Amino acid sequence: MSTQATTPGSGSAPALADGLIGVAIFSGSLPATRLALADLDPLFLTCARAAIAGLLAAAALALLRQSRPARADLAGLALVALGVVVGFPLLTALALAHVTAAHAAVFVGLLPLATAVFGAIRAGERPAPAFWLFSGLGSAVTIAFAAGAGATPSLLGDGLMLAAILVCGLGYAEGGILARRLGGWQVIAWAALLSLPLTLPLALLCRPAQSGTVGAPAWAALAYVSLFSMLIGFVFWYRALARGGIAAVSQLQLLQPFLGLGLAALVLGEAVEGQMLVAAAAVAACVAGARRFARPGAPRLRIWPAPRRPGPARSRP
């Protein structure tokens, strides 16, 4: 499979579709992690999901005969590995031992803003000022909605989740940059493979002493976060960031808590309240506004009509 350089913003509709698929896959990560932690140690869960992803990535890279990344890309891949392969999974697993998945969703609402900030720092993206307004409003609506879902504060859990959001935002932004040169799935594959010498020995060392005590739901949750959260989701997500721009596409993550609740309603038959629909509509409007003003040359947001400039005076005959 050939890798071609991608220009940000070339094909916004395909980028939007890829981003929505990635967000839909990621929406199941926190509930699956919470389910796996019922029987598995947080360190083992983190290392096992990364090791499984690394082994699958190694097989895919070898099977498709992908060329090795340039030496200049290794530092960026290390940041991706630190952020999304090891950092975010480990920190969220530790945090979910102290807070609920609903409470963790409060901090996930900050992830689009963190990704956009790191995109501006690392990729040099300069969205219009109105972008930050819509991004901040979307984050506020998402946090307010998630906070109303029965969240219980925890100093340690909150600190771990905040650290998870920061390292994940950095990993997303760095991966979006690399995906323009390496390709979407290649970035997460090389990052997972780069982490394998660390994650595989730790996974074997921290494995459960008696695997028979681990229930089937925990193993199924481990399979989900290993295959979908660590690999398949990033195939779509990094490709979306590369094609649509880090700042613009990152705002799709604002929909993640609502997609998770919608998935629960579809699979588990849970009721969808009207408050969720109103909040989701408000967030969707913020996402649309942020994407409109994500480009440096985007039109400025005008709240008041611009005053008319007087034309040149006409000379009387």
Question: How far is 142 from 114, CA to CA, in rounded Å?
Answer: 14
CA Rg value for the chain: 21
Higher pLDDT pick, 11 / 93 = 93
- Indicate the pLDDT class of residue 269, thresholds 50, 70 and 90: low
Q: Could you tell me the end-to-end alpha-carbon distance of the chain, in angstroms, rounded to an integer? A: 74
In this structure, of 188-202, 227-241, 252-266, the range with the lowest mean pLDDT score is: 252-266
Tell me the per-residue pLDDT of 35-91, one tens digit each, with 9 for 90 and over: 888 899 999 999 999 999 999 999 999 999 998 999 999 999 999 999 999 999 999
Q: Is the pTM of this model over 0.85?
A: no
Report which listed range, 90-104, 178-192, 282-296, 301-315, is most confident.
178-192
Dihedral class, residue 9 (left if φ above 0, else alpha if ψ from -120 to 50, else beta): left
- Write out the E strands in the chain: none
Q: Average of pLDDT values for 239-265?
A: 77
Q: Is the pLDDT of residue 302 over 70?
A: no
What is the full DSSP assignment across 239-296? HHHHHH-HHHHHGGGGGHHHHHHHHHHHHH-----HHHHHHHHHHHHHHHHHHHT-ST
